[in-house]
């Protein structure tokens, strides 16, 4: 029996929900505390009703063949979108980038069956460390196969509206500083150009 309906058959009215995070894990939905298993069960049900999470992909198997897979992951699709949203305001930039580089390797290790391996445990320590301040709420809109982030908030947010304006930021950002920054970052290209190298060549 299919978990996910066709988007065309999903309700004509959107459903909104709010996920609450503590250290990167969902602990409540719409204010109601839930265990991890209950969260996934609930999101699978609601996501499936809204036509979310049906995938048709071609995979590269560990043994060397390509294999087509049709999957239904309504809960996982919702969780990924929301988790990215709360991370976007709570993770340091370089930590976020490093975690993004790590995730394909982490997924590959699990996909190939090495859950109990030392490398998986090592990566898990890094991921858990990155999630220490991933706390807050994400508001989502579910509608005909789509999951849209419509709000996010956190007491651990690194977003500062006063700085992000680039204007009235009490001196946090001075546009004159950009000139030196750009000049330094272009140094290697100016050196190459001085050696007669055409940087536009293939």
Q: Does an H or E element contain 59, and which?
A: strand 54-60
Other beta carbons within 10 Å of 87? 23
Residue 46, number of CB atoms within 10 A of its CB: 17
Q: To which residue do tokens 């996920």 refer?
A: 19
Domain residue ranges of the chain, discontinuous segments joined by +: 7-91+133-157, 160-197
Q: State yes or no: pLDDT of 169 exceeds 70.
A: no
- What three-state secondary structure class fits 175? coil
Q: Which helix (H) or strand (E) holds 150?
A: strand 146-153
Q: Is pLDDT larger for residue 63 or for residue 88? A: 88
- 76-100 tens-digit pLDDT: 999 999 999 999 999 999 999 999 9
Amino acid 199: pLDDT: 62
The two structure tokens encoding residue 123: 């990566």
Q: In this structure, what token pair is assigned to residue 161?
A: 């509206």
Look at residue 18 in the predicted model and tell me its pLDDT: 98
Q: Domain 7-91+133-157: give its CATH code.
A: 3.90.1260.10
The mean of the pLDDT values for the chain is 91
Q: In which order are the strands placed within the sheet that holds 146-153?
A: 32-33, 25-29, 15-22, 136-143, 146-153
**Helix, strand, or coil here: 9?**
helix
Instruction: State the number of CA atoms in the 13 A half-sphere of 144 facing the CB.
Output: 5
Q: Please say whether the beta carbons of 138 and 82 come within 8 A.
A: yes
Please write the tens of the pLDDT for every residue from 104-160. 999 999 999 999 999 999 999 999 999 999 999 999 999 999 999 999 999 999 998
């Amino acid at each position: 029996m299919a978990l996910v309906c066709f988007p065309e058959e999903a309700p004509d009215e959107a459903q909104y929900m709010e996920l609450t995070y503590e250290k990167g894990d969902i602990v409540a939905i719409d204010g109601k505390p839930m265990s991890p298993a209950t969260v996934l069960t609930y999101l699978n049900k609601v996501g499936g009703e809204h036509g979310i999470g049906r995938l048709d992909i071609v995979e590269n198997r560990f043994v060397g063949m390509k294999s087509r897979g049709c999957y239904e992951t309504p809960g996982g699709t919702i969780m990924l979108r929301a988790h990215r949203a709360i991370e976007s305001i709570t993770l340091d930039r370089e930590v976020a980038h490093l975690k993004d580089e790590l995730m394909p390797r982490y997924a590959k290790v699990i996909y190939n069956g090495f859950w109990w391996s030392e490398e998986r445990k090592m990566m898990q320590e890094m991921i858990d460390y990155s999630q220490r301040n991933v706390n807050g709420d994400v508001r989502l809109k579910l509608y005909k196969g789509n999951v849209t982030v419509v709000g996010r908030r956190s007491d651990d947010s690194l977003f500062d509206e006063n700085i992000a304006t680039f204007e009235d930021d009490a001196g946090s950002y001075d546009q004159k500083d950009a000139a030196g920054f750009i000049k330094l970052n272009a140094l290697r290209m100016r050196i190459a150009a001085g050696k007669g190298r055409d940087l536009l060549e293939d």
